[in-house]
């Protein structure tokens, strides 16, 4: 089969021929229907050095995956060949306290995990291929009726990550609250939809691109603003001077973090979602009183079930640009140039359906 593989750090991925994996005991072989191209993959290609992570190339890219069960390893129950499924991205040990709570993104025994702190497309072979080997059946979630793999794949990260971040702040997102979403790209446009579907808060979105601001309004934002010298004043004006209750920073740069802190009200939450590499000085007077600053990483299996249900009900839908596997490298080039609206999704088995 063909697979798009990252061969070494600081390199572009290459399409090459590899063997179709055989599922062992407890494993599931998925025929990939769709695999999302994530901005974090660009960081892997261009910024990481050897030793920066507990794993490294070579491996097949693609950590947002959905498709159909192809074959089952011995001992697997509850799944059938041909069944449409999504793949949970983070693969922990399954036995530590965090994993037993369903928080495999925060696995505390990486020495027992299939790959320390990673998963398919993150140290192990991912879904930018015709088939994906999943090491445990618990990482496979049946798709609800009416949700296709091309729609489900980006939800496994670009939908799940903002859902997890929003869920942390649900108590602060009542009808009188305002939330600021910084960055309306692949994650941000889904974050706006998650907020609209699960909270009553007013949503203010920020992005330098006019097309992204239009997309934010289309997805349910109440107000879409461009960054600039007047942005903080505009946000303060929209909130009667008090600031926003929650900031969800989908970029994570020095500039966006400073903007988020300046827009936040007392007792608010500032959640760093994006991997922009920025820092935010935290001191007694550096952020509003009793403000909380936190980062989040992905989400968990139970939350993915919620996200897929929202997708099946039409409440959460990724705006996607589809690419064939032969054009998967181009998807990443388009992502790097900022020309992708929403999410880039690769379809390895074009036209295939069991």
Is 288 a residue whose pLDDT tops 90? yes
Specify the pLDDT at position 163.
98
- pTM to 2 decimals? 0.95
Counting residues of the chain whose pLDDT is more than 90, the rounded percentage is 90
Q: What is the pLDDT of residue 53?
A: 86
Q: Region 286-304: what's the mean pLDDT?
A: 95
Task: Return the H-helix or E-strand segment holding 294.
Answer: strand 292-295
pLDDT tens digits for 201-227? 999 999 999 999 999 999 999 999 999
What is residue 219's predicted lDDT score, i.e. its pLDDT?
97
Environment class of 209 (CB within 10 Å of its CB; exposed 0-12, middle 13-18, buried 19+): middle
* Domains of the chain with bracketed CATH: 2-157+299-347 (3.90.180.10), 161-295 (3.40.50.720)
Kindly indicate the confidence band of residue 48, based on its pLDDT and cuts at 50, 70 and 90: confident
pLDDT at 52 (0 to 100): 83
Mean pLDDT, residues 65-72: 97
pLDDT given for residue 63 in this prediction: 97
Please report the pLDDT score of residue 353 as a whole number.
61
DSSP letter for 12, please. -
pLDDT tens digit sequence for 84-138: 999 999 999 999 999 999 999 999 998 999 998 889 999 999 999 999 999 999 9
Q: How many angstroms separate the Cα of 296 from the Cα of each of 45, 115, 146, 152, 166?
A: 22, 20, 30, 21, 10
DSSP per residue, 58-98: SEE---EEEEEEEEE-TT--S--TT-EEEE-SB---SSSHH
Share of the chain above pLDDT 70, in %: 99
pLDDT of residue 354: 61
pLDDT band at 352 (very low <50, low <70, confident <90, very high): low
- Report whether pLDDT(154) > 80: yes
User: Considering the chain, what is the average pLDDT of its residues?
Assistant: 95
Measured CA to CA, the distance from residue 67 to residue 353 in angstroms comes to 9
pLDDT value, residue 351: 53
Tens digits of residue pLDDT in 176-204:
999 999 999 999 999 999 999 999 999 99
Q: State the DSSP code for 104.
A: G
Q: What is the predicted pLDDT for the residue at 334?
A: 94
**Could you tell me if 91 and 151 are in contact, meaning their C-beta atoms sit under 8 angstroms apart?**
no
* Per-residue pLDDT, 16: 95
CA dihedral 277, 283, 286, 290 (to 10 degrees): 110
Tell me the β-bridge partners of 122.
119
Structure confidence at residue 341 (pLDDT): 81
Whether residue 265 is predicted with pLDDT greater than 70 in this model: the reply is yes
pLDDT for res 342? 81
Express each pLDDT in 314-351 by its tens digit.
999 999 999 999 999 999 999 999 888 889 999 997 65
> For residues 234 and 217, what is the distance between their CA atoms, to the nearest angstrom?
17
């Amino acid at each position: 089969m063909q697979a798009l593989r990252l061969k070494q750090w600081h390199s572009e991925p290459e399409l090459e021929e590899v063997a179709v994996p055989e599922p062992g005991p407890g494993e599931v072989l998925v025929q990939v229907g769709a695999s999302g191209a994530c901005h974090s993959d660009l960081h892997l290609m261009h910024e990481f050095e050897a030793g920066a992570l507990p794993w490294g190339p070579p491996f097949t890219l693609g950590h947002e995956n959905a498709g159909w069960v192809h074959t089952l390893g011995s001992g697997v129950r509850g799944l059938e060949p041909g069944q449409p499924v999504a793949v949970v991205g983070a693969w922990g040990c399954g036995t530590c306290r965090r994993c037993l709570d369903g928080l495999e993104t925060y696995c505390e025994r990486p020495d027992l995990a299939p790959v320390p702190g990673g998963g398919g497309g993150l140290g192990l072979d991912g879904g930018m291929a015709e088939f994906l080997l999943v090491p445990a059946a618990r990482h496979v979630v049946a798709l609800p009726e009416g949700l296709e793999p091309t729609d489900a794949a980006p939800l496994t990260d670009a939908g799940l990550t903002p859902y997890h971040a929003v869920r942390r702040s649900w108590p602060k997102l009542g009808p009188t609250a305002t939330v600021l979403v910084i960055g309306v790209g692949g994650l941000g446009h889904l974050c706006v939809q998650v907020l609209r579907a699960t909270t009553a808060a007013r949503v203010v979105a920020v992005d330098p691109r006019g097309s992204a601001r239009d997309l934010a309004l289309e997805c349910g934002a109440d107000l879409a603003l461009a960054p600039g010298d007047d942005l903080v004043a505009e946000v303060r004006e929209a909130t009667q001077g008090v600031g926003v209750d929650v900031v969800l920073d989908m970029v994570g740069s020095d500039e966006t973090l400073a903007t988020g802190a300046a827009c936040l009200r007392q007792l608010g939450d500032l959640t760093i979602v994006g991997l922009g590499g920025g820092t935010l000085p935290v001191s007694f007077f550096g952020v509003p009183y009793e403000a909380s600053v936190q980062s989040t990483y992905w989400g968990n299996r139970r939350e993915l079930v919620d996200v897929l249900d929202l997708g099946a009900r039409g409440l959460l839908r990724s705006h996607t640009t589809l690419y064939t596997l032969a054009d998967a490298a181009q998807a990443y080039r388009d992502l790097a140039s900022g020309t992708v609206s929403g999410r880039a999704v690769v379809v390895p088995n074009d036209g295939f359906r069991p």
